[in-house]
Structure 1
């Protein structure tokens, strides 16, 4: 899935839309003490009152909020076993069966099995409410230039889906309230746990959508916190393959570059490497039509980027050895968007004992580390006088 697909389905979680229909909702209350189901209920989503529907819509949007590689991760299912008994508990089979069945009892049974997988051999600190919905997502086909008067909803892609959200509960705080009937102040004695629907601790969407078609071999996993996916959940509950976060990819790229050219680099070369990757992204942005696939950096692209950035003595063999040493996989492809700092903010951090400086990657070439009278100095080329606490700094001729 790409960010546009996610954003499109996310915006339709609202009342009154005709492009997304939720058929059934199934809620499971898990007690933290026992990790067992305390209560469960399945019902048509339309039977919920309007206020409850709005709360769930907000919750589902939260599940699908965040950036790919940071909070959302497309996970590939591991191959199912040749053992039929093992396959019965494989998440892909459970979810696929739940999606295909017309029997509400079977749907509920399959989602119950998924809920129990989530708490098996894992203890949550607070009671947990797991919500499953089953529905249909409709996406209009792309209009041709000749279709000037046709309704964009005449033809749509229809994709059935299952979305899951996991939400912890909190006990209400004791408070002082005013009773209008008795006309007196009282302490609040409400003990009903509050389901924290605004901060889901996890979830997923099945299946993924690729080129407007369902991809049942992948599932979109939603982490509770940025760059902190639950690897146990991905591998043991979703039966998915290992994933890399955007932060992981950035670290891997840095280690590969160090392996190829060493630990030291001048600012102009580093700026050139970042510029080359940024240009790749801009070209893709200008050329994209239907989707927004991000360019990938494999060994060949990394070699090209480093050479274009000005790195000396780069070879195919060096880059492949670096991939093999760092990743143990010469075929790995990194998301180019993960490894380059943001060009829309001062995302480059320069740290020294004297000061910490933040600059835009485009301005990195104007920063140099130099030696003046045997002392290490940071030189920043500027186009105007520098101001410090309202004072204009005097220019000093130190460098010949």
Structure 2
């Protein structure tokens, strides 16, 4: 799913656009015991309560594609009868009316979700009548020819509110505040099936993680049946490994700076595109060649890429470079440079020592103090 497709589904989480038919919930304590269960028609819910659920659902479809929101494909084995995709399809087709299926889903989550405190599993079913679009991209609500029927799960931590004082209007006094258990923003979630090309895609699932580096592998593998993707940090480290292995002892400052500049330029050119910029093996190869990596060093690139990343796997450009800063580090010094002016920094050999040289045009400050000389 791309940004536009995510936003189209996200827009349904409002009173005027609501397509949710049913909601189920299970409150789990720190001992993995089910404390409370909820099941009802969503539209029967009080308006104030529904608004709070809308906020949770919107957050389950928030963040950056490739970091917080990950498109994951089912392996072929999981699409066979008895696989996880088959189970999720049955759950969707039941419209969450089959209590045994819902209970089985809760049990799967509780068994595989690693969390030492209380949490709330929310599961919804929705049916979105996809409006057609005219040639000028205007929605035509009377021209729908498909209903996108889906389920979405949000897993929210439940934490005790902070201790403190509060004003009691009934007694007109300041007193100890009653501490409540608060349902926080979702930490994990998923949307199934995916909404690809404005249509149902049962072969893919969209996974949400609030913290990109904490994926919950057991949940992904055993509940969703998908292959665990590389996190943003893993992708960055993988890219760095490719550069290091390819350049070897010829990994110099100018080439690395050029790679950063060219990659930043690629991302900027792609900024308005709905799909995130993915770099396949040929793309990375062209990037390195353009950045001045010697031909003899590129001879082993294909083999290195296949060993480190995988022949058919790609890397998200926004995950492998920080376009907002250009950082240079030594064991004792860290220099951060405006990425648009990385040309101001160069390396030189001075009196036999390798030095970092920064051009100073007209202004220099040290700890907020302007240096005159």
1:10 aligns with 2:10: yes
Residues 349-398 of structure 1: per-residue CA shift (max 9 Å, x gap)? 2123553221233322321122222344221234433344443443xxxx
CA gap 1:42/1:300 in 2 versus in 1, 3 angstroms = same
Conserved 8 A contact 1:13-1:57 = yes
Match of 1:331 in 2: 312
Match of 2:288 in 1: 306
Provide the TM-score with structure 2 as the length reference: 0.88
Match of 2:62 in 1: 65
Match of 1:398 in 2: none
Which one is further off, 166-175 or 305-314?
166-175
| Offset at residue 187 of structure 1 (A) | 4.6
Match of 1:206 in 2: 192
Secondary structure at the aligned position of 1:257 is classed as helix
| Offset at residue 181 of structure 1 (A) | 4.3
Match of 1:105 in 2: 97
Match of 1:95 in 2: 88
Which one is further off, 375-384 or 318-327?
375-384
Residues 75-119 of structure 1: per-residue CA shift (max 9 Å, x gap)? 2223336985xx1xx3322221122235x532x432321111011
CA gap 1:254/1:77 in 2 versus in 1, 3 angstroms = same
Match of 1:32 in 2: 30
Match of 1:154 in 2: 142
| Offset at residue 257 of structure 1 (A) | 1.3
Match of 1:168 in 2: 157
Secondary structure at the aligned position of 2:300 is classed as helix
CA RMSD of aligned residues (A): 2.8
* Gaps in structure 2 of 5+ consecutive residues: none
Q: Distance in 2 between matches of 1:110 and 1:365?
A: 60
**329, 337, 344: which is aligned to 1:366?**
344
Secondary structure at the aligned position of 2:258 is classed as helix
Match of 2:128 in 1: 137
Residues 198-250 of structure 1: per-residue CA shift (max 9 Å, x gap)? x2221111111111111111111112413221111111221111211222111
Q: Distance in 2 between matches of 1:370 and 1:393?
A: 25
**351, 357, 370: which is aligned to 1:391?**
370
Q: Distance in 2 between matches of 1:144 and 1:184?
A: 64
Q: Distance in 2 between matches of 1:322 and 1:11?
A: 43
Secondary structure at the aligned position of 1:262 is classed as helix
